[in-house]
Amino acid sequence: MAVPATLWRPGMRITDARLNAKDYQAGVLLVSFTNLASYLLNQTFPDPFPVAPVMDVEIASGAGTTGRFEARAINVTATGWTLFVLITDAAEGPDTWSGVPIHWTARMPT
């Protein structure tokens, strides 16, 4: 379980888990789909958070038609989240992606 690194209180014991704790996690997803206008992908955090974290998601490419899409995190819980990729102009129609990088970060709420 993730132990928030910033929640130290007087009297807490110093343990390996607390010394190595991070209050954030991050990763990169390589997203591929064929002929879609929106895409969902469920993700599990490597280490669960004590509460639902604050998420940031970014399409790390401007190649081809990726500029017409946006990405966001939905259904965020302490154990996971869902990537939601959608086209921003429905008039353009569906598209195909192959290995487009999506960067994500999750951090404890302040």
pLDDT digits (tens, 9 = 90+) for 69-107: 999 999 999 999 999 999 998 788 899 999 999 999 999
The answer to whether residues 58 and 103 touch, using CB atoms and an 8 Å cutoff, is yes
- List pLDDT tens digits, range 42-52: 999 998 998 99
pTM of the model: 0.79
Residue 17: its H or E element? helix 16-19
* pLDDT (0 to 100) of residue 86: 95
Q: What would be the CATH architecture of the domain defined by 23-107?
A: Sandwich (2.60)
Owner of token pair 């002929």: 35
Domain coordinates in residue numbering, the chain? 23-107
Mean pLDDT for 10-15 is 73
How many angstroms separate the most distant Cα atoms in the chain? 60
